[in-house]
A and B are shown apart, each in its own frame.
Chain A
């Protein structure tokens, strides 16, 4: 115990583990430690002591110790042995450290002792001061012996024990290694407790930090909360706060109160007035702002041009209407709910009559006369006057005038709107037509006549202007022929119009129209005047005729713009009829054998005829894709010489046309053909053979439907047995299937893998003629065969190999490939597993909301900007204990 205790500090230093101060604080632990180490320590301690002694001998000269000190040392040693508790351990330790002087006459060191005396504890140790020798003096005295009894007992025990010297300290490297190992063990134990938690986190599909972190954050949600909690901190803020307080404007309430106080000075009337004024100003400002915004948003250049130019035009600005300036009085006479156009028109007329803006005023005349007009201001004023005058006189291209003004420059795209305005009168649905439509009809006829004559003139005029391709002799011949035809047609048309005019004048067929429709079809109440010709006024028809008129334009007007060259559609034209078919048709003569009866038989009852015609018209309308064709009730009575239905086309002609068009791949022709073939279909539907109605018209199993029956060709019972066959015949000319197959062949060949086939070069490796005689060499044939085989294989592997009417492109889509992987990703054993792991669609439209969230939840959920703090070890969990 003695050695160990005295050596303790050194040991501590060597190990670098224990701390001196720490030792002071907890004695008990020390004791325990020492007990544990007791077994191994003594030997080493003894050795160290010996070394110490040697050191002391070496330092002999330096030692100059006082007697007192010796005394003290001895006392300490005694107290050590005796076990008297010391007051100050630290001091003792300090002494212990410095106690290494050599024993001299005056200083009795531990190494000095009588030679004959041997240390009890260590027989082999050099003679010196030993416990036994010291204890000898104390021995024997009763009271003293009794007092030190316990100490002696302890000493005896020590003496009996076989004390061994301390082992030599391990080399540093080894020592450190051992230390590291120990440290590793501790750290490992410390860290390993996290293992299950980390694993758990790793395996989690989502790490959620949202709730946790949000709770930790101190956030203010609203501005108000920030405001209420605000405490001025620095000087600046404090100063501002003070000023605000002084000014009584600390809170919103304060400010309001101050304003109220200010208002108190006003009388209630004034206040009200002020408020009203302010409100009005605000309102005006807002209105103005909105208006400016809207005007600014308008992208139309024309509008801005007008807007910029109009000084006076602002007066009757399109949509504000109410803003009427100096011409207010002038407009008073007009109906207030009259349109803007009307107002504009009125102003225009007025301008034309008056001399207001013609610089005829006295001032202007004088200025001009005196030669003041050259002065900048005057000149401008006069010019402005003139400009306003012109502006007012001009027709602005909106509303009714638009079509007329546009017609010339926009020939290529004649709009339906303008068509509408032009053909206003005939375009009105018949139901509303009353007595006044005789006049309308006349007007329309006059217009039509005018147009026709114009067209004829223009056609004649445009004849010479041909050049380029049209100058070629055969083209010229053809053109001439066409022109003549067109002219003929136009003349015929003119005659028709005139006749119609005469009839209209006589007022013969006016009211019959309405009756025809109003009374329902199939009533048999179709008078002569009810012979109608449908107007195509609808869009499809219009566009078609536009396209057709490309050809027709050549016919009628030569090089002139087609819009002009095209005569106004004659009233006798049907929706699906058009100019490109050449001259006017004599309907009765053209009719095919199949439907000759239908077309010509005039001995049939009126009723039947009416029904047929109606059916045909409906069919024509529906078939030709003219939604309006049937809707537009023609206003013009047709010529009496055409008693049969509106259109009939020779079947063979249809076929021919179709075939021709299909052969020449041009879109225009194809379209014409489509129309023509459609027309063919019209003819067939007209055949009145109610008995042989085909049953497989699945779409039309409604012949019992009485209302519809009258309207519908099929249900009317006029359907033809041969309709289907005829239809197929109509389309027989165009070899759609063959064309498609050829197309498919070309496309597929294009996509087949390219194989390089080596070819023998004539003259290489032999004489050319010999080679030619022998034919291609074997290797070449072989290579060719191989190439064919590969291509055949590729052909069979195609997805459309067994689909006759389908081409499925197998080109590589590079852009889509960006969303694919080229190889199965690492970890997946097979394609099936990889793709199977992604088989669930992720979108919200394929999943419930919950599944959608589950499927698309990210790996880590965290609020933006939130700090993720390090984990704390969960309280409930204990690390696994190792035995």
Chain B
């Protein structure tokens, strides 16, 4: 009979296994006592973290994701929005609504990371910010310019718009705060939350990173692949994925002027792409009528779906649902990223005649998808799309004003430097060998610096050829200094050393070769021809005067 406590403990351990990161380090063989204690403590912390996480999962994450259950021959994708609306509670039913804005152009959509605010930007310059909790209009502006993309910055206080010529930043009152004149002809915007970087790419095919805390441009990378209209970030490592017109997807960090990875995904231009929350899978759609999912860790294709009409937009929800939009239709696919290939969509929505989908985004922490189309904006209910449990320290959908302020400060305190962005998010702090070229470069640099210092000193010591005042104290001191090994001497010395080493090496090789030759029966004349003489090698401590007698 196992006691209840033990049972619970066992269960907890089982749960904790899921949260363990890597194996426990064996401390037995560590010699250094301090290190041993340190590593042991690190082990304890790791264990505790996993157990804590397991406990949290058990008790504090009780909400289960939504789902649609069908019986018998029914298929979920046959179920229409109004049927879903009838089935769900009032609060959820409220989420299905349409904004009819037929003349203001197709809309692009964005949500804040906590899903508290919604931003829609019509192509013809209509930008509106809506509070998601009560669907209240916060701000509405007519920019009277083409708006190509809209994006919230770190919270609902500011948002960026890619307009006709430049990108702009507005605050939540709709007032223009900044005009980003460096970002010209922007097509897509992206914001890296942990790094406070606004990324833009556009017709010039230049990827720009601008820090929104101090306003400096961190990096500008020329993709050299023409105009770009597809950009997404990988939420786990803040790498930017770009889709290009030659069918490739490139991965960028602000540190490297060259793409980190370049993969050929489609035969036609890449229309849109999306990366899931775990950072493992990427979905792309191209003009070649393919929708593909990729394992970004391996850079391998997982599935390739075929759509009769090329899809214009893809997005992945927090729980890994794949949204695909084409024509006047949006399809949601569940479990289509990995595992066995999905056979049918999870949900399917056809907009009214003439409403062509342009952009959509899943609402974080909510079972909804906001679709921007030519007829305005529509919100659809997608049961099970959003993460049901939230961490108010990370993103709080019910954030109050004070919480938002606190959060903002915390975010700024936790801001990561852009240099930290790299493909492997665990790569910080690990041992990384320096390549030979870099080492050489460093050595050369150090040598150069030293030489320069010595040269400066020597030049300062060089006195003019003047007869008068030769015996001044300062002059005498300088003369003394001239005896110091200056750069010329050092260089000569190094050169001598080098030649000596080379000679020694050559001798060594030659000796070996002659030895071999002797065994073979007689020395090879050509091999010894270069040698000066057969004199013995000079011992180390021999004086300069005697050196000529040696080799």
* A and B form one complex: yes
Task: Give me the interface of A with B, judged by CB distance under 8 Å.
Answer: 203, 205, 294, 297-300, 398, 402, 413, 415-417, 420, 427-430, 517, 521, 538-539, 543, 618-619, 621-623, 625-633, 667, 670-671, 674, 677-678, 681, 685, 696-702, 704-705, 707-708, 711-714, 719, 723-724, 727-728, 731, 734, 736-737, 739-740, 743-744, 747, 753, 800, 803, 805-809, 811-824, 826-829, 831-841, 844-845, 847-851, 854-855
Query: What 0/1 pattern do residues 204 to 243 of B give for CB contact below 8 A with A?
Result: 0100000000000000000000110000000000000000
Q: How far is the CB of B338 from chain A (nearest CB, A)?
A: 15
Query: What 0/1 pattern do residues 328 to 358 of B give for CB contact below 8 A with A?
Result: 1101000000000111110010100111111
- Which listed residue (B77, B176, B259, B328) contacts A622, Cβ 8 A? B328
- Which listed residue (B43, B259, B310) contacts A809, Cβ 8 A? B259
Across the interface, do A708 and B350 meet the contact criterion of CB distance under 8 Å? yes
Chain B residues with CB below 8 A from A736, complex form: 246-247, 264, 267
Contacts A712-B308, A714-B309, A839-B21 given; 5 further ones with Cβ under 8 A?
A627-B374, A630-B328, A671-B245, A711-B350, A836-B24
Q: How far is the CB of A635 from chain B (nearest CB, A)?
A: 14
- Which listed residue (A822, A841, A845) contacts B434, Cβ 8 A? A822
15 inter-chain pairs at a CB distance below 8 angstroms, sorted by A residue, are A416-B124, A417-B145, A420-B124, A619-B309, A621-B356, A628-B105, A674-B287, A698-B341, A714-B308, A816-B253, A816-B427, A827-B32, A829-B32, A829-B35, A839-B25
- The list of the 4 closest CB pairs from A to B, nearest first, reads A622-B327, A627-B356, A667-B226, A714-B308
CA A674 – CA B245 in complex, angstroms? 8
CA A398 – CA B142 in complex, angstroms? 11
Across the interface, do A627 and B264 meet the contact criterion of CB distance under 8 Å? no
Chain A residues with CB below 8 A from B311, complex form: 699
Across the interface, do B356 and A699 meet the contact criterion of CB distance under 8 Å? no
CA A678 – CA B268 in complex, angstroms? 9
Chain A residues with CB below 8 A from B419, complex form: 815-816, 818-819
Which residue of chain A has the shortest Cβ distance to B176 in the bound complex? A299
Interface hits, B407-454 → A, CB 8 Å: 414, 419-422, 426-435, 437-438
Which residue of chain A has the shortest Cβ distance to B142 in the bound complex? A417
Across the interface, do B329 and A712 meet the contact criterion of CB distance under 8 Å? yes
Q: How far is the CB of B365 from chain A (nearest CB, A)?
A: 14
Across the interface, do A839 and B22 meet the contact criterion of CB distance under 8 Å? yes
Q: Known contacts A671-B226, A678-B287, A840-B49: does B394 contact A708 (CB below 8 Å)?
A: no
- Which listed residue (B25, B264, B434) contacts A740, Cβ 8 A? B264
Across the interface, do A839 and B46 meet the contact criterion of CB distance under 8 Å? yes
Q: Known contacts A631-B102, A674-B269: does B52 contact A847 (CB below 8 Å)?
A: yes
Across the interface, do B345 and A420 meet the contact criterion of CB distance under 8 Å? no
* Interface flag for B260 (CB, 8 Å): yes
- Which listed residue (A429, A819, A832) contacts B428, Cβ 8 A? A819
Q: How far is the CB of A741 from chain B (nearest CB, A)?
A: 9
Across the interface, do A817 and B306 meet the contact criterion of CB distance under 8 Å? no
Interface hits, B372-427 → A, CB 8 Å: 373-375, 391, 393-394, 414, 419-422, 426-427
Across the interface, do B356 and A622 meet the contact criterion of CB distance under 8 Å? yes
Across the interface, do A833 and B267 meet the contact criterion of CB distance under 8 Å? no
Chain A residues with CB below 8 A from B327, complex form: 618-619, 621-622, 630, 711-712
Chain A residues with CB below 8 A from B485, complex form: none
Interface hits, B38-61 → A, CB 8 Å: 38-39, 41-43, 45-46, 48-49, 52-53, 55-56
Chain B residues with CB below 8 A from A835, complex form: 429-431
* Interface flag for B324 (CB, 8 Å): yes
* Interface flag for B299 (CB, 8 Å): yes
Q: How far is the CB of B510 from chain A (nearest CB, A)?
A: 14
Chain A residues with CB below 8 A from B464, complex form: none
Chain A residues with CB below 8 A from B38, complex form: 827, 837
Across the interface, do A813 and B308 meet the contact criterion of CB distance under 8 Å? no
Interface hits, B133-183 → A, CB 8 Å: 144-146, 148, 164-165, 175-176, 179
CA A402 – CA B144 in complex, angstroms? 9
Q: Known contacts A297-B175, A699-B306: does B429 contact A819 (CB below 8 Å)?
A: yes
Interface hits, B51-79 → A, CB 8 Å: 52-53, 55-56, 77-78
Across the interface, do B105 and A538 meet the contact criterion of CB distance under 8 Å? yes
* Interface flag for B474 (CB, 8 Å): no
Across the interface, do A731 and B175 meet the contact criterion of CB distance under 8 Å? no
CA A726 – CA B24 in complex, angstroms? 56
Most chain B beta-carbon neighbours within 10 Å: one of A630, A744, A747, A753: A630
* Interface flag for B528 (CB, 8 Å): no
Across the interface, do B53 and A851 meet the contact criterion of CB distance under 8 Å? yes
Q: How far is the CB of B280 from chain A (nearest CB, A)?
A: 15
Which residue of chain A has the shortest Cβ distance to B260 in the bound complex? A809
CA A844 – CA B410 in complex, angstroms? 11
Chain B residues with CB below 8 A from A677, complex form: 268, 287
Q: How far is the CB of B408 from chain A (nearest CB, A)?
A: 15
Across the interface, do A833 and B394 meet the contact criterion of CB distance under 8 Å? no
Chain B residues with CB below 8 A from A681, complex form: 289, 310
* Interface flag for B487 (CB, 8 Å): no
* Interface flag for B261 (CB, 8 Å): yes
Which residue of chain A has the shortest Cβ distance to B37 in the bound complex? A203
Chain A residues with CB below 8 A from B22, complex form: 836, 839
Q: How far is the CB of A718 from chain B (nearest CB, A)?
A: 10
- Which listed residue (A696, A697, A831) contacts B431, Cβ 8 A? A831
* Interface flag for B471 (CB, 8 Å): no
Across the interface, do A806 and B299 meet the contact criterion of CB distance under 8 Å? yes
Q: How far is the CB of A297 from chain B (nearest CB, A)?
A: 6
Chain B residues with CB below 8 A from A822, complex form: 431-434
Chain B residues with CB below 8 A from A538, complex form: 105-106, 123, 356, 374
* Interface flag for B300 (CB, 8 Å): yes
Q: How far is the CB of B475 from chain A (nearest CB, A)?
A: 46
Q: Known contacts A539-B146, A698-B343, A819-B420: does B179 contact A299 (CB below 8 Å)?
A: yes
Chain A residues with CB below 8 A from B341, complex form: 698
Interface hits, B310-329 → A, CB 8 Å: 310-312, 324, 326-329
Q: How far is the CB of A667 from chain B (nearest CB, A)?
A: 3
* Interface flag for B30 (CB, 8 Å): yes
Chain A residues with CB below 8 A from B46, complex form: 839-840
Chain B residues with CB below 8 A from A812, complex form: 434-435, 437-438
- Which listed residue (A629, A633, A697) contacts B307, Cβ 8 A? A697
Q: Known contacts A628-B105, A736-B264: does B312 contact A622 (CB below 8 Å)?
A: yes
Q: How far is the CB of B182 from chain A (nearest CB, A)?
A: 15
Chain B residues with CB below 8 A from A622, complex form: 309-310, 312, 326-328, 356
Which residue of chain B has the shortest Cβ distance to A678 in the bound complex? B287
Across the interface, do A670 and B21 meet the contact criterion of CB distance under 8 Å? no
Across the interface, do A628 and B331 meet the contact criterion of CB distance under 8 Å? no
CA A744 – CA B259 in complex, angstroms? 12
Across the interface, do A298 and B42 meet the contact criterion of CB distance under 8 Å? no
Which residue of chain B has the shortest Cβ distance to A715 in the bound complex? B308
Most chain A beta-carbon neighbours within 10 Å: one of B102, B105, B259, B263: B105
CA A701 – CA B356 in complex, angstroms? 20
Across the interface, do A724 and B306 meet the contact criterion of CB distance under 8 Å? yes
Which residue of chain A has the shortest Cβ distance to B262 in the bound complex? A807
Across the interface, do A629 and B245 meet the contact criterion of CB distance under 8 Å? no
Across the interface, do A625 and B268 meet the contact criterion of CB distance under 8 Å? no
- Which listed residue (B25, B48, B247, B348) contacts A836, Cβ 8 A? B25
Chain B residues with CB below 8 A from A398, complex form: 144
* Interface flag for B97 (CB, 8 Å): no
- Which listed residue (B78, B342, B355, B431) contacts A823, Cβ 8 A? B431
- Which listed residue (A298, A712, A831, A848) contacts B56, Cβ 8 A? A848
Q: Known contacts A711-B328, A816-B422, A855-B49: does B307 contact A700 (CB below 8 Å)?
A: yes
- Which listed residue (A671, A685, A707, A832) contacts B309, Cβ 8 A? A685
Q: Known contacts A625-B271, A699-B305, A829-B30: does B53 contact A847 (CB below 8 Å)?
A: yes
Q: Known contacts A420-B103, A736-B246: does B422 contact A813 (CB below 8 Å)?
A: yes
CA A700 – CA B348 in complex, angstroms? 10
Across the interface, do B102 and A429 meet the contact criterion of CB distance under 8 Å? yes
CA A822 – CA B434 in complex, angstroms? 7
Which residue of chain A has the shortest Cβ distance to B245 in the bound complex? A670
